[in-house]
Amino acid sequence: MRTPIANGDARPHILDLTLADLQQWLVEHGQQKFRAGQIHGWLLQRRAESFDSMSDLPKTLREQLSEAFRLWAGKVVEHQTAEDGTEKLLFELADGGKIECVLLREEGRRSICVSSQVGCAMGCVFCASGLDGVERNLSRGEIIEQMLRLQRLLPEEERLSHIVMMGMGEPLANLDQVLAALEVAKDPKGLGISPRRITISTVGLPPAIDRLAKHSTPFHLAISLHAPNDELRDRLVPVNSKVGIQKIMQAADRYFAATGRRLTFEYVLLSGINDGPEHAAQLAKLLRGRVSMLNVIPYNPVEGLEYETPSSGRISDFRNTLLEAGINIMFRQRKGDGIDAACGQLRRNRENV
């Protein structure tokens, strides 16, 4: 899959090529194979901004590269910084599609949240990303480009430590390109981020979860549950009506059996909808006996949607029921308040002005 052509610029995105592709290109263009490793080093580790700045490459090669490839396919059209250090980029892609990605700073962690598609087809009713459906999948290069742009926001002595595929889109609906990008992220000669620190978040698509379980690298898997029964989940996560919670839990169990990785379940708390004592009790029953972490996220309001964040009293009641039932539970801090931090919000708010 290739990054779309921009304004008649048919040059491919350099990051759409694997190392082997690049080696082949070099040989075909009268250059030495080992230059591919140097070019990757410049892009992934030395934070080069242009081919011309790759100072240990022969000038002719730098010129050939500029003629043949684009290094950046997206344009940063907005860059927001929150008081807590969270930074968010809104990208305009070559074909005009818009995506977002985020850098979060928490003590020693430097985590990034990356998009996998333009828009999203899953239709979760509280999420800004899917309100207008999906436009297309992102290419490998477009996914890696987000990582590199965010990396370049860090001072030289800091490195990216974690990646979450929790930006716009459903990563398991674009698994080939996501896995190709994550190969580079985990490669010690790439971004060098341990797969334990790379999370793929999904609405729960069993065949793709099974594919991931067979993949050679066991990434951390997070499943966006949001409801403890099918009746409620069908309403909040429409794709559920074709799958059902039981099939998702079985696929999750197979993932755990194959990888030994503790699973994460995500649960966005929506006031008066999925935050009652009966929901907490059902959820506890569903998760009991599974080696997992429940990640509860208070709803981040999206303009134009009527959902509300529960009161702190209701949130702590929900937490206590689960704690008493012995469930591992974590409350995700809301980061980036004031900068349209929930996925899809920045894009949406820009389109509405």
* Contact (CB, 8 A) for 22 and 40: yes
Binding to ligand SAH, residues 97-136 (CB under 6 A): 122, 124, 126-127
Q: Does 166 bind ligand SAH (CB under 6 A)?
A: yes
Spatial neighbors of 290 by CB under 8 A, at least 6 apart, are 249, 252, 253, 256, 263
- Work out how close the CB of 127 gets to ligand SAH at its nearest, in angstroms, rounded to a whole number: 4
Q: Which range in 35-43, 71-79, 200-208, 209-217 contacts ligand SAH by CB under 6 A?
A: 200-208
Backbone region of residue 284 per phi and psi (left: phi > 0; alpha: psi in -120 to 50; beta: other values): alpha
Of 62-70, 195-203, 242-250, 317-325, the segment contacting ligand SAH by CB under 6 A is: 195-203
36, 268, 273, 280: residue in contact with ligand SAH (rule CB under 6 A): 268
- CA 140 to chain centroid: 13
Q: Known catalytic residues?
A: 100, 343
Instruction: Give residues with Cβ within 8 angstroms of 127, minimum separation 6.
Output: 120, 302, 342, 343, 344
Tokens matching residue 131: 């309100």
Q: What is the closest distance, in whole angstroms, from the C-beta atom of residue 203 to ligand SAH in the complex?
A: 4
C-alpha dihedral, 209 to 133 to 346 to 155, nearest 10°: 40
Query: Is 201 among the residues that bind ligand SAH (CB under 6 A)?
Result: yes
Backbone angles phi, psi at 251, to 5 degrees: -65, -40
Contact with ligand SAH (CB under 6 A) among 297, 322, 327, 339: 297
**Least distance (Å) between residue 152 CB and ligand SAH:** 24
Q: Does 160 bind ligand SAH (CB under 6 A)?
A: no
Residue 256 near residue 291 (C-beta atoms within 8 A): yes
Tell me how far, at minimum, the Cβ of 124 lies from ligand SAH, in Å.
6
The residue ranges that bind ligand SAH (CB under 6 A) are: 122, 124, 126-127, 166, 170, 201-203, 224, 266, 268, 297, 299-300, 302, 342-343
